[in-house]
Amino acid sequence: MDLQLEGKKVLVTGSTAGIGFATARALAAESASVVVNGRGQERVNAAIHEIRKVHPNANVSGIASDVSNAAGCAKLAEAVTGIDILINNMGIFEPKPFEEIPDEDWLRLFEANVMSGVRLSRHYLPRMREKNWGRILFVSSESAVQIPAEMVHYGMTKTAQVAVARGIAETVAGTGITVNSVLAGPTLSEGVEAFISQTGSGVAPAAFEAEFFKTVRPTSLLKRFETTDEVASTIAYLCSPLASATNGAAIRVDGGVVRAIL
């Protein structure tokens, strides 16, 4: 299917690995002009190299900037102009018992996961209004709906992302701009692999995965970690002109973890 993205300029935050990288690669394959973002230039360069290995003619560039803070967002916004599609993917998480989460951790996760998207959306939305076309996506999580007991502060930020996305969508009613969030399920990204190594106590990855979906996410219908490509394919479609009737929505790509029909 031609997603009609040729020539569209896309910024994907946090795209040197995981869902962000898979999304950047998928959009590059659709002939979009993709801007990769990460905290360090070395990682950004490596991501660009990996995309070009698969798609030699890809129109892909990159900029290093830590968007988990206001200064990093401002640096990125100044360097990257003319965006048609903004994918607010960058996010952080950490498992921690609720009683042990200090104020600074609540604020740190909110600043990174929520305010990065708020700041960048606020910056790029006016040009989308001028063109009467644009796409803004927040990469959220099923944790927005089912707050994980092992990281309540993370779940809070994912819920906030969905609220922000719907609120922005209300402000662009009747235009060619759509604003949506994607509720990804447990995905085998770089961060999750690190989580497994930290908490798995030497258990083989396959055994850890089986136990995880038996005890931590028992409602999963997929019964395995999603791949980053499985999430990225949905994100790529929502970026497309073909998805013009999907607006203000929270699209589940959660492997059936959320036990609900809506």
Give the residue from 183, 194, 192 showing the smallest Cα distance to 250: 183
The dihedral of CA 44, 46, 51, 55: what is its sign? positive
Our answer to whether residue 154 is catalytic in this structure is yes
Cβ atoms of 32 and 10 closer than 8 Å:
yes
Distance CA 176, CA 245 (A): 10
3-state secondary structure at position 237: helix
DSSP code string of 65-117? --TTSHHHHHHHHHH----SEEEE---------GGG--HHHHHHHHIIIIIHH
Positions of E strands within the chain? 9-12, 33-38, 59-64, 85-88, 134-141, 177-184, 250-253
Helix-helix angle 152-171:116-131, to 10 degrees: 20
Indicate the helix (H) or strand (E) that contains 190: helix 190-199
CA dist., res. 97 & res. 259, Å (int): 24
Q: Quickly tell me which residue has 């993205």 as its tokens.
A: 5
Catalytic residue among 21, 124, 138, 154: 154
* Catalytic site positions: 154
